[in-house]
Amino acid sequence: MTASIVGWAHMPFGKFDAETVESMIVRVANEAIADAGIAAGDVDEIVLGHFNAGFSPQDFTAALVLQADPALRFKPATRVENACATGSAAVHQGIRAIEAGAAKVVLVVGVEQMTRTPGPEIGKNLLRASYLPEDGETPAGFAGVFGIIAQRYFQKYGDQSDALAMIAAKNHHNGVANPYAQMRKDFGFEFCRAEGEKNPFVAGPLKRTDCSLVSDGAAALVLTSAENAKTMGKAVNIRARAHAQDFLPMSKRDILQFEGCTVAWQRALADAGITLDDLSFVETHDCFTIAELIEYEAMGLTTKGQGARAIKEGWTQKDGKLPINPSGGLKAKGHPIGATGVSMHVLTAMQLLGQAPEGMQIKDAKLGGIFNMGGAAVANYVSVLEPAK
């Protein structure tokens, strides 16, 4: 336990024509600093998570955080990127700065603006998070990559369309209670299961309801040492964290196993001195419903090929033995790439302090797990959070 989250901010995710990358950064940076009860001048270091990959014409964005307050001028500011795990990469870099004693207070911001990009360009941008020599011509872009994964899973373990629809329905149901969610609509199992004009097949066996949303949004948090956090108004401790990076080409690994996810979970749980059963809930990376299904197995909730059991037997519902994505996940909340991992940490911190929105709060939450993934299980980040004692 080396760092604590002592303040945060989270704007609603969605499609915002009046916002820019800069305006969203400034908004959440100021709100997080105010929420932590500190002055901007107290910040020692800034880390910005911003994937971009062509979504925004403005690159070199780390210094945009300084626009939030003149007192941030001349503070070290760095942009980090690790595909869809960019937000957690930023959080973990901030934690390392605290651990190293290089900073007493770190401001972490995650942001993305995706909706201004034309549809074909969105697919092209996202496909850059795959191995282009092998996957660069995949139809339907990154959805096509996970469509291939779903097809292979179905071939090995049988048709899992019911399980995928149940995961989608669960996350959309949960998202109704999340005021930050882009899509607050309870579609139900039947809609998610049936192919139709409003829910067509997108890639392989994946339908529209199996795919996360194209989103704009930002989130931010303030980190400090666990010792310094004792003097703050609120604190959520980083009990453990782990990052496991795997090969980029899917051809070099068994893509149905998400081995990097397994390794990251094993490292983080061992470091925390706990088992999966000790967690009160998990926010996991459901960029596609097949990803959440395989993550059940990779984290150790079920054995290989049995992920459907977790959703069909209700284990991962809000009132189940391990609630998964009480926020609605990427499926309902939205997936602004650089903001996603920061959002996961913010919403987990809110849960642990009993400050989650009504209807979203997990009763008596004591330990929260986070899994944020970049690419097809390439960048794998796990965090375990708990309220400060």
Which residues does residue 110 pair with via DSSP β-bridges, in sequence order?
49, 219
Q: Strand 105-113 to strand 216-224: parallel, antiparallel, or no bridges (unpaired)?
A: antiparallel
Tokens of 257: 């196993």
CA quadruple 260, 262, 268, 274: dihedral, nearest 10: 180
Torsion of CA 230, 231, 233, 236, to 10 degrees: -30
Q: Where are the alpha helices (DSSP H) in the chain?
A: 21-36, 86-99, 119-127, 132-135, 141-157, 161-175, 188-193, 226-229, 259-272, 289-298, 307-312, 329-333, 337-352
Instruction: Give phi and psi for 277, each to the nearest 5.
Output: -65, -20
Contacts of 7 (CB under 8 A, 6+ apart): 32, 33, 34, 35, 36, 37, 38, 221, 222, 232, 234
Residues 6 or more apart whose CB falls under 8 angstroms from that of 194 comprise none
Vertex 95 angle, CA 94 and 96, to 5°:
90
Residues tagged active-site: 84, 335
State the greatest distance between any 2 C-alpha atoms of the chain, in Å, as a whole number.
Answer: 58
CA distance 279 to 69: 38
Amino acid at 222: V
53 vs 59: CA distance, rounded Å: 9
The amino acid sitting at 26 is V
Q: Which two tokens stand for residue 173?
A: 């149901």
Secondary structure letter of residue 14 according to DSSP: B
String of DSSP letters for 88-105: HHHHHHHHHHHHTTS-SE
Ramachandran angles phi, psi of 235, nearest 5°: -160, 140
Neighbours of 326 (CB within 10 A): 29
